[in-house]
Amino acid sequence: MSDIIQLLPEHVANQIAAGEVVQRPASVVKELLENALDAGADHIKLLFKDAGKTLIQVIDNGKGMSQTDARMCFERHATSKIKKTEDLFHIQTNGFRGEALASIAAVAQVELRTKQPEDELGVQINIEGSKVSAQEPVATPQGTSIAVKNLFYNIPARRNFLKSDTSETRHIINEFQRVALCNPTVHFFAQHNDVELYNLPVCNLKKRIVDVFGKKINEKLVPIQEKTGFVSIDGYIVKSEYTKKTRGEQFFFVNNRYIRSDYLNHAVKKAYEGLIAQDRHPGYFLFLEVDPSSIDINIHP
């Protein structure tokens, strides 16, 4: 009997990986915003069209990439953020796997422009379905611009699986809000179909919450600060008289990374016991700081 096991072609392997990393337009937004933060940017702009199906573009003023790194960043498992196993337990950056850009480029048409401060010219790379179609020097500002066009153009079934534009836009806005909330020292801008959604200047946490959710929330916020031998907690909770019927403004961040935790949600709800009705939900913006070695963020993307 002949051998039947073979290695998958690289573009097929990338599409399979993309199914895990890039589930919808909001997944792309999250990865690109986090890359911009990891590049040290303090001004980040998000532009998207047709709920991210036609265009998702993130422009930052970070440190940019060299020509070699600009090409390498689209390779799977290529990352500047970890070098050895031990680094997985002391992660200080948002991304670290080296999967995101390779996965995005496998299912979209991508244009990357980037320039380091010491370079006269930057580089532009066009990549489509994991294949580089063009690379050339370009005059561009310091930092990086990544435009992701026609997401899932080569996987019609995945594109058809997407929800309505309203639903997909909501997911994108949710991701944007999470990133903006935990980085108030960064200026964020968001625009959909040429309509400005957010323009968030550098500020403190309370002002960022107000800028994101509106002036009315200002009077509802109560500061929280607590420190133990294991964890320090900072942030704001919403006064008990302003609870909602639905889970709205509920945000947990651990080491500046947004998390979902039924356990922590239940703990906060328990703390409100006797103050709010059983069918009401409190709002909170809580930031937990723990030793990075005490948590494992490498469980699932």
**Confidence (pLDDT) at 95:** 55
Q: Which amino acid is at 133?
A: S
Q: What is the DSSP letter of 97?
A: S
Report the DSSP beta bridge partners of residue 60: 44, 144
Residues 133 and 104: their CA atoms lie apart, in Å, by 15
- Give the three-class secondary structure for 68: helix
Structure tokens belonging to residue 64: 């940019």
Q: What is the pLDDT of residues 136-156, one digit of tens each?
A: 999 999 999 999 999 999 999
Was domain 10-200 assigned CATH 3.30.565.10? yes
Residues 190 and 5: their CA atoms lie apart, in Å, by 47
Q: What is the rounded average pLDDT for all residues in the chain?
A: 89
Residue 83 pLDDT more than 50?
A: no
CB 188 within 8 A of CB 203: no
Residue 87 pLDDT more than 60?
A: no
CATH class of 216-294: alpha beta
Distances (CA, A) of 186 to 40, 126, 173, 201, 284: 10, 28, 17, 7, 21
User: What does the chain come to in residues?
Assistant: 301
Residues 255 and 253: their CA atoms lie apart, in Å, by 6
CA atoms within 13 A on the CB side of 118: 3
Residue 269 pLDDT more than 90?
A: yes
Q: What is the pLDDT of residues 42-63, one digit of tens each?
A: 999 999 999 999 999 999 999 9
Q: What is the DSSP letter of 255?
A: T
Q: What is the DSSP letter of 9?
A: P
Distance of CA 82 to the CA centre of its chain: 18
Segments making up each domain of the chain, as ranges: 10-200, 216-294
Helix axis angle for 205-213 and 165-181, nearest 10°, is: 170
pTM: 0.89
Q: What is the pLDDT of residues 205-238, one digit of tens each?
A: 999 999 999 999 999 999 999 999 999 999 999 9
